[in-house]
Structure 1
Amino acid sequence: MIHARPLPAYLIQRFHGWKATTYQQNRAWYRRLAESGQHPRAMVISCCDSRVHVTSIFGADEGEFFIHRNVANLVPPYNPDGEYHGTSAAVEYAVTSLGVAHVVVLGHSNCGGVKGCHDMCRGHAPALEEKTSFVGRWMDILRPGFEKVAHLSDDTILRALEKQAVLTSLENLMTFPFVAEAVQAERLTLHGLWTDTGEGDLEQFDPERQAFMPV
């Protein structure tokens, strides 16, 4: 039996409002996108966090970004083991089928997934240590990043670990052969960003300074 229920009324009302305004005013554009297919210039890998609104941050229209969201904006290492890999599949499709020119990893402040990794690595989250914890096993990807900032003080480590999540993902992206080949052929560039959701600030990783700098 499928345990699906009708949408809440407020979501249905919002849909009808969108259809009567935004869609009607741009109907030709939506139909063109549907008929011609998608041709995004960039893939953005961001966190599932509801406070991170990628299209709003960059003022993007439909069809501009190929967006993949997961807990703590992580990319796992290349591992073609035949298991389920949603993030790896999204990266493969974006790079090999859509031919995006940019892959952007976007981290953010007050990330719950990153805090979970921190607590787990400190031994303060036994539930995440369980093999049955999907979140815990996903956050294992960030354990190497935690080791790089474990010496920092309590008031600075979480923000540093949020940025390590971005750097870990960038490093792991380069373990994908088709990503590395596209980067080396200068068909693809990788970018690391971090946003402060409360202040509306945006920082990008500068490889020359080996630090995140305000844009």
Structure 2
Amino acid sequence: MAKAHEFPSRLLRGYATFRDQRLPQESSRYKVLAETGQRPRTMILGCSDSRAAPETIFDAAPGELFVVRNVAALVPPFTPDGEHHGTSAAIEFGVMGLKVRNLVVMGHGRCGGITAYLAERDSPELQAPNDYIHKWTSLLKPAEALICEDPVETMDRQRALEFASIRQTIENLRTFPWIRSLEEIGELELHGAWFDISTAELYLLDKQTGRFTVPDEIED
């Protein structure tokens, strides 16, 4: 058993593998990134779930994605109240500072944040008055109105809310004036995606229909 003050040995072994196997292929890229800074074209707003890492799912190279992760991949509406807003600050940096062209909201199957919200809705007595998670997942409440009457969704209420939360988060993003204005002039595109952990299938939000489907073909 590792002592309390020791760095996790699994992480050190992982770093050794990275250093010995991947770094030789990426060393020149890291040097360029260090000298010139990051210029990702895509920002991913994803869930903190350890099974749904965007860099792994999209096989991304260093510097390719600007990733922000939190419980259930949620974004509060624009609230300029002078308080601390970590997710909103990261979005502002990605959009206004790094000038990404694509902002992808990516949910996933079996999301613990969605599960917690549904459990508390069904059993209000489970709510804790000072519970951070309950306060955060309460952002999901408006999403319930965005559930589509689609068999892909209605057959599973967990999946239905996972899909609807992505729609709601995109709508919340549009409450940020600088996101809305950049989208209107075509300098920023908002996208929705959902990753099925059990099958590794990626569903994309169709902007015309508002439904989630698996793409027929993936271009090289």
Normalized against structure 2, the TM-score is what?
A: 0.89
Instruction: Measure, in 1, the Cα distance between the counterparts of 2:177 and 2:101.
Output: 16
CA distance 1:154–1:174, change in 2 (3 Å):
closer
Residues 1:190 and 2:190 aligned together? yes
The alpha carbon displacement at 1:147 in A equals: 4.6
CA distance 1:83–1:126, change in 2 (3 Å):
farther
Instruction: Measure, in 2, the Cα distance between the counterparts of 1:203 and 1:76.
Output: 23
Alignment-derived partner of residue 218 in structure 2: none
The alpha carbon displacement at 1:125 in A equals: 5.1
The alpha carbon displacement at 1:39 in A equals: 0.1
Describe how 1:193-204 pairs up with structure 2 within 5 A.
193-204=193-204
Instruction: Measure, in 1, the Cα distance between the counterparts of 2:131 and 2:29.
Output: 43
Structure 1: tracts of 5 or more residues without a match: none
Instruction: State the secondary structure of the residue aligned to 2:69.
Output: strand
The alpha carbon displacement at 1:154 in A equals: 8.7
Describe how 1:41-56 pairs up with structure 2 within 5 A.
41-56=41-56
Instruction: Measure, in 1, the Cα distance between the counterparts of 2:182 and 2:159.
Output: 31
The alpha carbon displacement at 1:208 in A equals: 1.8
Match of residue 137, structure 1, among 116, 122, 135: 135
Matched pairs, number? 210
Mean Cα displacement is larger for which, 172-181 or 18-27?
A: 18-27
Instruction: State the secondary structure of the residue aligned to 1:26.
Output: helix
Alignment-derived partner of residue 80 in structure 1: 80
Alignment check: 8 A CA contact 2:94 2:100 kept:
yes
Instruction: Measure, in 2, the Cα distance between the counterparts of 1:7 and 1:204.
Output: 39
Alignment check: 8 A CA contact 1:68 1:90 kept:
yes
Alignment check: 8 A CA contact 2:103 2:190 kept:
yes
The alpha carbon displacement at 1:207 in A equals: 2.5
The alpha carbon displacement at 1:23 in A equals: 1.5
Alignment check: 8 A CA contact 1:202 1:214 kept:
yes
Alignment-derived partner of residue 115 in structure 2: 115
Instruction: Measure, in 1, the Cα distance between the counterparts of 2:154 and 2:177.
Output: 37
The alpha carbon displacement at 1:214 in A equals: 1.2
- Runs of 4 or more above 6 Å deviation: 151-154
Alignment check: 8 A CA contact 1:116 1:125 kept:
no
